[in-house]
Amino acid sequence: MIKAVIFDIDGTLVDSVDFHAKAWHETIKHFGHDAPYEKVRHQIGKGADQLMPVFFSKEELREKEDEIEEFRGELYKREYLSRVKSFPKVRELFERIKQDGKQILLASSAVGEELATYKKIANIEDLIEGETSADDAEKSKPHPDIFEAALSQLGDIGAHQVIVIGDTPYDAEAAGKIDLRTIGVLCGGFPEKELRDAGCITIYRDPADLLARYDESILAQSAADAARK
């Protein structure tokens, strides 16, 4: 039986992927590279530590990594953060999960300041037991560090009792490295095939779709159902 749900945020709970992609695209161009927008967007879901090496050389990162990350962060906050909206029915989904007595944690590659803003946007501040961000991990997704930090907050709850919900293959890949199962959502813009190939056990359109079909989802699975499988 599922006892805890760990949610990604960007592209899963809030509609921010395109804004992150635009900020990174502008940043990469500012520092001398002309990367196609779609290539940049496909990397969103990774943290900066994993995204930057795709577009910058080791030498460039040795010299300018902090400057690049600071430029991107300030640009995102100045131009895009205020434009981020929650996907529909996020709070209602969280309330449904809480009614079942499950714990909810957030695990995002976002930095702590962005994470606090997203919780307000999604109106879920009072519905979560814990959170982990890029600040809690040595390496971001697709490395499992962020999910390992979340699991450590759950005490004696085992990986088989936890479900991750995310919108990118990097969520599923990271979760799978520590035996966590992942539900994929399409609202972040990644193709269903990529999510399934990365290990997602089932796919929903968005949080509202998962809420509408909650009773038939793995989240509603009883202990008796689990024992029969």
DSSP one-letter string for 164-202 = EEESSHHHHHHHHTTT-EEEEEGGGS--HHHHHHHTEEE
**Cis preceding linkage at 142, omega within 30:** yes
Tokens of 133: 């961000």
Exposure on the CB side of residue 42, measured as CA atoms within 13 A: 10
């803003």: which residue's tokens?
Answer: 117
CB 158 within 8 A of CB 126: no
**What pLDDT sits at residue 225?**
54
Which amino acid is present at 61?
Answer: L
d(CA 180, CA 155) in angstroms, rounded, equals 15
Give mean pLDDT in consecutive 10-residue pieces for the chain, a chain of 229 residues: 96 98 98 97 95 98 97 96 97 97 92 88 96 87 94 93 98 97 98 98 98 96 49
CB atoms within 10 A of CB 53: 14
Rounded alpha-carbon distances, angstroms, from residue 133 to 57, 145, 227: 26, 10, 34
Exposure on the CB side of residue 127, measured as CA atoms within 13 A: 20
| DSSP-based three-state secondary structure for 154 | coil
Which amino acid is present at 85?
Answer: K
